[in-house]
Structure 1
Amino acid sequence: MPVQYYIFLSVVLFCIGIMGVLMRRNAIIIFMCVELMLNAVNLLMVAFSKMWADAGHVDAGAAQIFVFFIMVVAAAEVAVGLAIIVMMYRNTHSVDINLLNRLKN
């Protein structure tokens, strides 16, 4: 399959993530959109590593190992982010980010 398909899919996923972050007010949806953008970049990195490996320029596993480490960091980010969202819900009984000014006390 040509790499242009992967590039197009990655750009579409990244744009959906950006629109979700900019337009939504729900903290969980924003968090999911950030993860979607991160996975779009991972898809693009794997597609380019496959393209360069097929051309014989680089090792195919180098970028894929880097993507694996990005996914490990993303898993830690999910744990911390969801803990913050749960604490926000306990304090305000809502996950609307417009209500975060109540947490200043």
Structure 2
Amino acid sequence: MNIGWYLAVSALVFCTGAAGVLTRRSPLVILLCLELMLNAANLALIAFSRMWGNGDGQIFAIIVMVVAACEVCIGLGLVVAIFRRRLPIDVDEMRELHG
């Protein structure tokens, strides 16, 4: 298959995630949309790695997956802490994290 197809799917998934981040108010949905964006970037990295015939893109994709896992742990921890304190879950109404 041509690399253009992989990049088209990657761009479609990335745009879906970006639209979700910009339009949704729930922190859990925003985290899921960020995961979509990271997975789209991983798909593009692996496509380019396959095109060039080396494993550098695949190694970098694994590093991105580790960063995504850390992001989910921190994000879910924040959401649970906010939920336990009975604060509003809407990201527009959260003022607890302002400095």
Report the TM-score when normalising by structure 1: 0.85
**Deviation, structure 1 residue 93:** 5.0
Structure 2 residue aligned with 1:87, among 81, 84, 88? 81
Report the TM-score when normalising by structure 2: 0.90
**Deviation, structure 1 residue 94:** 4.2
> Which digits, 9 at most, give the CA deviation of each residue in 1:41-79, with x for residues without a partner?
0100100110111xxxxxx21211111111112111111
Q: Number of aligned pairs?
A: 98
4+ aligned runs moved over 4 Å, structure 1: none
**Deviation, structure 1 residue 30:** 0.6
Q: Which has the larger radius of gyration?
A: 1
Structure 1 residue aligned with 2:72, among 74, 78, 93? 78
**1: CA distance, partners of 2:50 / 2:27:** 35
Whether the aligned pair in 2 keeps the contact of 1:25 and 1:96 (CA below 8 Å) is yes
Whether the aligned pair in 1 keeps the contact of 2:25 and 2:92 (CA below 8 Å) is yes
Aligned residue identity for 1:32: L
Cross-structure match for 1:56: none
> Which digits, 9 at most, give the CA deviation of each residue in 1:13-54, with x for residues without a partner?
00001100111111100111011101100100100110111x
Unmatched tracts of structure 1, length 5 or more: 54-59
Aligned pairs for 1:8-47 within 5 A? 8-47=8-47
Aligned residue identity for 1:47: A
Unmatched tracts of structure 2, length 5 or more: none
